[in-house]
Structure 1
Amino acid sequence: MNLLIIRLIIFAVLFFAGLKLYSMYREWKLDREELLDHDTGDSDANQIVRCTYCKVHLPENDALRERGEWFCSSAHRDKYLEEQKDE
């Protein structure tokens, strides 16, 4: 009977130690990801802009800018600028 209680106590201690280590790992991982996000400095990279021609939303990194307007492709940029010349 005493051996069973000792095994149970050892198991409980190991279980709680494992839980504590796991929670410390998760906290470290979240802190590390947060630091990496702040270090990149890409606050403008996450901006969403709208194509002036077709009104589609896309990330600023993928967009083209011409004369203060945003475009999703060079074809839309050219079509828009062509229409502006006609007016």
Structure 2
Amino acid sequence: MNLLLIRLIIFAVLFFAGLKLYRMYREWKLDHESQLDAESQQEAGQMVRCAWCKVHVPEADALRDQGEWFCSSAHRDRFLQEQRPED
């Protein structure tokens, strides 16, 4: 009977130690993934919206003219052409 009780205690200790290690690993993995996501977002930069087609593009790839963002030079030219008063 005493041997059975000792085995049960050892099993319980090993089970809780394994559970604690699993939780620590899972927390480390989630922290690591969130850190990688934050780094990739910083590399991509902020997203801006094209004034002509309303598509969001990374700020590094966008063009800025007269306080507006554009996804391409063609859209910039079309937007600025419409803004000019036609005589």
The answer to whether TM tops 0.5 is yes
Uncovered stretches (5+) of structure 1, i.e. residues with no partner: none
- CA distances 1:41-86 after superposition (whole Å, capped 9, x unpaired): 92771x23222113x3524347521313212344422321332355
Mean Cα deviation higher: 68-77 or 20-29: 68-77
TM-score (norm 1): 0.59
List aligned pairs for 1:5-84, cutoff 5 A. Answer: 5-33=5-33, 36=36, 42=42, 45=45, 47-54=46-53, 56=54, 58-61=56-59, 63-67=61-65, 68-84=67-83
Identity of aligned residues (%): 61
SS at match of 1:24: helix
TM-score (norm 2): 0.59
**In the alignment, residue 9 of structure 2 is paired with which amino acid?**
I
SS at match of 2:69: strand
Aligned residues: 85
Uncovered stretches (5+) of structure 2, i.e. residues with no partner: none
What RMSD, in angstroms, separates the aligned Cα atoms of the two structures?
A: 3.5
